Amino acid sequence: MQKRSVAMFVVFATLLGGCIQGIQDSKKITSGQTEAEVTEKIVLKVFHAGSLTEPMKAFKKAFEEKCPNVEVQCEAAGSAATIRKVTELGRTADIVASADYTLIPKMMYPDYANWTVMFAKNQIVLAYTDKSKYANEINSENWYQILRRPDVKFGFSNPNDDPCGYRSQMVLQLAELYYNDSTIYDDLVAKHSNLKFVEENGIYILRMPKSEDINPDTSKLMIRSMEMELIHGIETGEIDYYFIYRSVAQQHNHRFIELPPQIDLSSAEYADIYKKVKVVLANGKGVVGKPIIYGITIPESAEHKEYAEKFIELIVSKEGQRILKELGQPPVVPSVDNVDNLPEDLKEYVKP
């Protein structure tokens, strides 16, 4: 019991003093411990949005270099599916990171979390490869006409599971308004699935059926649980195009069409336009169009909250912002929802 108590003290001292230096100092505390006991691995579990896969690999590497006694385990899924692992499946995570920060308060407050840090942004693009049909013809003006062609197949992630999925629907509906063509969504999606926007008092609303009832025409559409699963389809030629975050397209060296900012959900300047579209998920929760902002939190059930705080410190630090920029994902000056509940060590990094 005494040895265990000393080991717990060593871990705490390691965290507060800096992981590497703390481990070095801890060897001086008790001569009765072996080096293996002092540096026993802590497993930090990070559940995150699929589009954060490459940044999380980089954060993991940087954090483990600073904290050799920590093994960071990252697990990707669509953001809604990621959160449901904690709230519905009862799994334990030290960190949850979502591609839509609003999902954290909607799905986790107050029982599973009580604050959210917003740390990065993104935009929706249409990605493809050199082997995609009409790759040398498509551009930012004719992309929806190319997708209309009967021999072209494209994909997006499941809106019920993944923000990139419902954001892709929003982009396609907003395209109707931007290009003054009221049949873009109908021709590309509604005719090939059970998905359909309905105009109600100036707002265009898509009410999602249950995932098993989407019934996509697989000769035209590929729908997967998270956007990262579409990468295999594009690289094997199963699909020609897919809607994805710009950062992911860049990280995988895919070509992409940048869409007008009035529809790509990238700019606060066009927030009033984005609000004209809304997706109601199969669970009844509604999502209104808005600029893309990522969020992160520490669940109430986290086993290693102190290390989780240090990991988030890395993400919102200048080093973390540099990593995001290098991977094509613009960081934002971190802001927070429920600042009063934020751990003290994180408050210096964020604005209310």
Distance between CA 237 and CA 272 in Å, rounded? 37
Radius of gyration over alpha carbons of the chain, in Å? 22
User: Model confidence over 258-295: pLDDT tens digits?
Assistant: 999 999 999 999 999 999 999 999 999 999 999 999 99
Residue 105 confidence class, pLDDT cut points 50, 70, 90: very high
The residue whose two tokens read 């923000």 is 163
Distance between CA 333 and CA 321 in Å, rounded? 9
- Nearest to residue 349, comparing CAs of 310, 303, 299? 310
Contact between residue 245 and residue 227 where contact means Cβ atoms under 8 Å apart: yes
Give mean pLDDT, residues 176-199: 98
Residue 259 DSSP one-character state: P
Residue 352 confidence class, pLDDT cut points 50, 70, 90: confident
Angle at 70 between CA 39 and CA 8, to 5 degrees: 50
Residue 4 confidence class, pLDDT cut points 50, 70, 90: very low
- Least confident range from 18-22, 97-101, 318-322, 328-332: namely 18-22
Secondary structure of residue 154 in the 3-state scheme: strand
Contact between residue 97 and residue 49 where contact means Cβ atoms under 8 Å apart: yes
As a whole-number percent, the residues of the chain with pLDDT over 90 amount to 86
Max distance between CA atoms of the chain, in angstroms, equals 76
CA torsion angle for 71, 118, 52, 188 (degrees, to 10)?
160
Average pLDDT value for the chain: 90
Q: Which residue has the higher pLDDT, 22 or 105?
A: 105
Could you list the beta-strand ranges (E) of 233-316: 241-245, 255-258, 277-280, 286-288, 293-297
User: Model confidence over 47-76: pLDDT tens digits?
Assistant: 999 999 999 999 999 999 999 999 999 999
Distance between CA 18 and CA 30 in Å, rounded? 19
State residue 77's pLDDT score.
94
Alpha-carbon distance values, 282 to 60, 85, 103, 195, 213 (Å):
34, 17, 14, 12, 10
User: Model confidence over 32-43: pLDDT tens digits?
Assistant: 444 444 468 899
pLDDT surpasses 80 at 24? no
For 273-294, letters b (16+ CB in 10 Å) and e give bbebbbbebbeeeebebbbbbb
Secondary structure of residue 67 in the 3-state scheme: coil
The helix or strand, by DSSP H or E, that contains position 77, with its residue range, turns out to be strand 70-77
Those residues with Cβ within 8 angstroms of residue 127's Cβ, 6 or more apart along the chain or in another chain: 234, 241, 242, 243, 244, 248, 249, 254, 255, 256, 257
pLDDT surpasses 70 at 12? no
User: Model confidence over 212-250: pLDDT tens digits?
Assistant: 999 999 999 999 998 778 999 999 999 999 999 999 999
